[in-house]
Amino acid sequence: MAAMIVTAFGTLLLAVSVFCYEPDFHDHKYTRHPNWRLLPIEKCGKRANFTDDLSIRTIGGRVAELGQFPWMAEIVVKDYKGCDKHHCGGSIINDRYILTAAHCVYEPWFKVRLGEHTLSTCVDCTPDMRRCAPPAIDVDVEEVVVHPWFSSFNEHLKYDLALIRLKQPIYQFNDYIRPICLPTYAQDETSFENVLVESAGWGWTLPNLVGGSSDQLQTVRVPLLSEKTCNQLCAFYRLVKDLRWNWCDGYVDDNEICAGKLKGKGVCHGDSGGPLMTSANVPGRGPSTFLVGVVSRGIVGCEGGVPDVYMRVAKFVSWILDNIHD
């Protein structure tokens, strides 16, 4: 993905660890909100059952299958020649809104691309050409809502969240464009430590800022870490290596999530704003994918060894509901 100040590898798709929570799956403080009706509860987090085999090539991950992450949005800017350039990732949360990182929207102009997989092709197909997706769709931006406590002057990127309202609604979801579920479940996420989660994005695939954004959507699985473990790892790493300027100069709080600690596995520049995901068994609907984190920041060279940091979406569901509208 395109370079973003200090960030990590786009979308992490949560691993196969599935939790089930009944009988009151959704937290009542959300279901009673007047904008609850704007969340596509019956359509979110579902994807078609594709089984295409794709080659391995990412920072400890692999190329995503075509249609594996239909909620993936790409934020596109213009380069110095006036050509489209990948900038950040994002997640479709309903037919009108994309959730991304706040530091991704401080550009004079950008648009949102939906249904994208391979950046260099107009029509994306599986390697054997047996299945092709419809062409990606470009949508202009009508409004951007940045979290009021975010400051672009704060190097630690606290409250790094923004809502992008599309100028036109997504008129019909399909196998390649559909929303992810917000974490409206009534489960305590502190029980998720060491659960594998997955991320996806078009970020850099080589460490130490070698190369550039990936042409194909990538995915990687990493473990969720507790706030305590994350800060302990960071403190240790500061003692044994010069981290330069990066998130480890400031501690992670409960508005954030740490994920990944294995060398060579994680997010990188251009993945900012992308999703960190997990799966949950929803009563009456079966497994659905939930957005637990938004890629915010990581170690400058992307070489691994230190966890990446995501905004904890569960802490901001009320803010999201307060700021979306018809």
At residue 297, the pLDDT reads 84
Neighbours of 206 (CB within 10 A): 15
At residue 242, the pLDDT reads 52
Report the sign of the C-alpha dihedral through residues 93, 96, 100, 102, in that order: negative
pLDDT tens for residues 153-181? Answer: 776 789 999 999 999 999 999 999 999 99
Using pLDDT thresholds of 50, 70 and 90, give the confidence band for residue 268: confident
Domain 18-323, what architecture? Beta Barrel (2.40)
Work out the burial of residue 193: count CB atoms within 10 Å of its CB; fewer than 13 is exposed, 13-18 middle, 19 or more buried: middle
Residue 67 CA to residue 65 CA, distance in Å, equals 6
**pLDDT at position 315 over 80:** yes
Q: Read out DSSP for 18-74? A: EEE--S--B-HHHHTSTTGGGS-TTTTT------------SSSSEEPPTTS-TTEEE
Cα distances (angstroms) measured from residue 305 to each of 231, 245, 259, 315: 13, 15, 11, 26
**pLDDT at position 12 over 60:** no
**pLDDT at position 306 over 70:** yes
Using pLDDT thresholds of 50, 70 and 90, give the confidence band for residue 205: confident
Q: Please report, for the chain, the start and end positions of each structural domain, with discontinuous segments joined by +.
A: 18-323
Residue 13 CA to residue 311 CA, distance in Å, equals 15
At residue 208, the pLDDT reads 54
Residue 196 CA to residue 21 CA, distance in Å, equals 18
**pLDDT at position 51 over 80:** no
- Mean pLDDT value across residues 241-259: 70
pLDDT tens for residues 138-151? Answer: 999 999 999 999 98
Provide the total of helices (H) and of strands (E) in the chain, helices listed first: 3, 15
3-class SS shares of the chain: helix, strand, coil, % to 5: 15, 30, 55
**pLDDT at position 49 over 90:** no
**pLDDT at position 54 over 50:** no
> 289: which strand partners?
279
Using pLDDT thresholds of 50, 70 and 90, give the confidence band for residue 119: very high
Using pLDDT thresholds of 50, 70 and 90, give the confidence band for residue 6: very low
At residue 17, the pLDDT reads 45
Burial of 29-66, coded b for 16+ CB within 10 Å and e otherwise, reads ebeebeeeebbbbeebbbbeeeebebeeebbbbbbbbb
> What is the rounded (10 degree) CA torsion for 150, 113, 323, 104?
0
Work out the burial of residue 74: count CB atoms within 10 Å of its CB; fewer than 13 is exposed, 13-18 middle, 19 or more buried: buried
At residue 10, the pLDDT reads 36
> 99: which strand partners?
91, 163
The contacts of residue 289 (CB under 8 Å, 6+ apart) are 13, 14, 45, 46, 47, 71, 180, 181, 277, 278, 279
- Average pLDDT for the chain: 83
Q: Which residues are catalytically annotated?
A: 103, 160, 272
Angle at 195 between CA 40 and CA 242, to 5 degrees: 110
